[in-house]
Amino acid sequence: ATTTTVAESDESTTTETTATTAAPDTTTTVAEGDTTTTVAEGDTTTTVATEGAAEGDTDASTTSSTPETTTTTEFDPSTAPTVDEVVTPPDQDDPTKYVILPSSDGTLLHLLQPAVLTGEIVADANASFNGSWFVLVDMTSEGSGAFDAMATQFFGQQVAIALDGVVESAPTINAREFNGQATITGNFTESEAEDLALVLRFGALPVELEPQTVQTVSATLGEDALRAGVVAGIVGLILVAIYMVAYYRLLGVVAISSLTVSTGILWFLISWLGETRGLALSLSGAVGIILSIGVAVDSNIVYYERIKEEVHRGRSVRSAADGSFNGAFSTIVKADMASLIGAFILFVLTIGAVRGFALYLGVATVIDMVVSYVFMRPAVVLLARKFAADKPERLGIVPQRKSADADGEVEVVK
For residue 89, what is the domain's CATH number?
3.30.1360.200
Asked if residue 143 and residue 45 are part of one domain, the reply reads: no
Nearest Cα to 174, choosing from 160, 157, 196?
157
Nearest Cα to 179, choosing from 126, 135, 140?
140
Domain range for 20? 2-49
Across the chain, mean pLDDT equals 74
CB atoms within 10 A of CB 204: 20
CB 4 within 8 A of CB 17: no
Asked if residue 267 and residue 170 are part of one domain, the reply reads: no
CB 258 within 8 A of CB 237: no
Asked if residue 278 and residue 245 are part of one domain, the reply reads: yes
DSSP symbol at 406: T
Asked if residue 163 and residue 40 are part of one domain, the reply reads: no
* SS3 (DSSP) at 373: helix
**Residue 269, domain member (yes or no):** yes
**Residue 214, domain member (yes or no):** no
pLDDT digits (tens, 9 = 90+) for 275-331: 887 777 777 777 788 888 888 888 999 999 998 888 888 888 888 888 888 889 999
Residue 3: predicted pLDDT:
37
Asked if residue 307 and residue 274 are part of one domain, the reply reads: yes
Asked if residue 279 and residue 384 are part of one domain, the reply reads: yes
pLDDT digits (tens, 9 = 90+) for 105-161: 888 888 888 888 888 888 899 999 988 999 999 999 888 999 999 999 999 999 888
pLDDT digits (tens, 9 = 90+) for 88-104: 888 788 888 898 988 88
Asked if residue 138 and residue 44 are part of one domain, the reply reads: no
CB 132 within 8 A of CB 198: no
**Residue 69, domain member (yes or no):** no
* SS3 (DSSP) at 280: coil
Q: Which of 156, 177, 204 marks a domain boundary?
A: 204
**Residue 302, domain member (yes or no):** yes
pLDDT digits (tens, 9 = 90+) for 230-260: 788 788 888 888 988 888 888 888 999 998 8
Work out how many domains the chain is built from and give that number. 3
User: Could you tell me where the DSSP H helices lie in 217-249?
Assistant: 219-248
The span from the CA of 64 to the CA of 399, in Å, is 127
The span from the CA of 139 to the CA of 137, in Å, is 7
**Residue 55, domain member (yes or no):** no
Per-residue three-class SS string for 126-171: EEEECCCEEEEEEECHHHHHHHHHHHHHCCCCECCEEECCEEEECC
pLDDT band at 165 (very low <50, low <70, confident <90, very high): confident
The span from the CA of 397 to the CA of 312, in Å, is 9
Of 75-89, 308-322, 349-363, 397-411, minimum mean pLDDT range? 397-411
Higher pLDDT, 391 or 60: 391
* SS3 (DSSP) at 135: strand
Question: What CATH number does the domain containing 385 carry?
Answer: 1.20.1640.10
pLDDT at 46 over 70: no
Asked if residue 148 and residue 42 are part of one domain, the reply reads: no
CB 181 within 8 A of CB 138: yes
- Helices 325-349 & 377-387 angle (0-180, nearest 10): 150
CB atoms within 10 A of CB 328: 23
DSSP secondary structure of 70-123: ---PPP-GGGSPPHHHHSPPGGG--TTS-EEEEBTTSS-EEEEPSPS--GGGEE
Of 55-64, 208-217, 219-228, 340-349, minimum mean pLDDT range? 55-64
**Residue 413, domain member (yes or no):** no
The span from the CA of 255 to the CA of 380, in Å, is 9
pLDDT at 27 over 60: no
Read off the pLDDT of each residue in 164-188 and give the average, rounded to a whole number.
89
Task: Determine phi and psi for 135, rounding to 5 degrees.
Answer: -115, 125
CB atoms within 10 A of CB 398: 13
DSSP symbol at 43: T
Residue 78: predicted pLDDT:
52
Asked if residue 228 and residue 138 are part of one domain, the reply reads: no
pLDDT digits (tens, 9 = 90+) for 120-134: 888 899 999 988 999
Of 5-14, 208-217, 351-360, 381-390, minimum mean pLDDT range? 5-14
* SS3 (DSSP) at 134: strand
pLDDT at 23 over 50: no
Residue 386: predicted pLDDT:
79
Read off the pLDDT of each residue in 379-390 and give the average, rounded to a whole number.
78
Q: How far is CA 139 from the centre of its chain?
A: 32
pLDDT band at 388 (very low <50, low <70, confident <90, very high): low
**Residue 304, domain member (yes or no):** yes
Asked if residue 382 and residue 273 are part of one domain, the reply reads: yes
pLDDT at 412 over 70: no
Alpha-carbon separation of residue 217 from 58, 278, 320, 411 (angstroms): 98, 20, 53, 66
DSSP secondary structure of 12-37: -EEEEEEEEEE-SSEEEEEETTEEEE
Interacting residues of 222 by C-beta distance below 8 A, sequence separation 6+: 283
**Residue 235, domain member (yes or no):** yes
Asked if residue 347 and residue 253 are part of one domain, the reply reads: yes
Nearest Cα to 356, choosing from 265, 268, 260, 291?
291
The span from the CA of 108 to the CA of 312, in Å, is 78
Residue 9: predicted pLDDT:
38
Asked if residue 165 and residue 87 are part of one domain, the reply reads: yes
Beta bridge partners of 412: 402
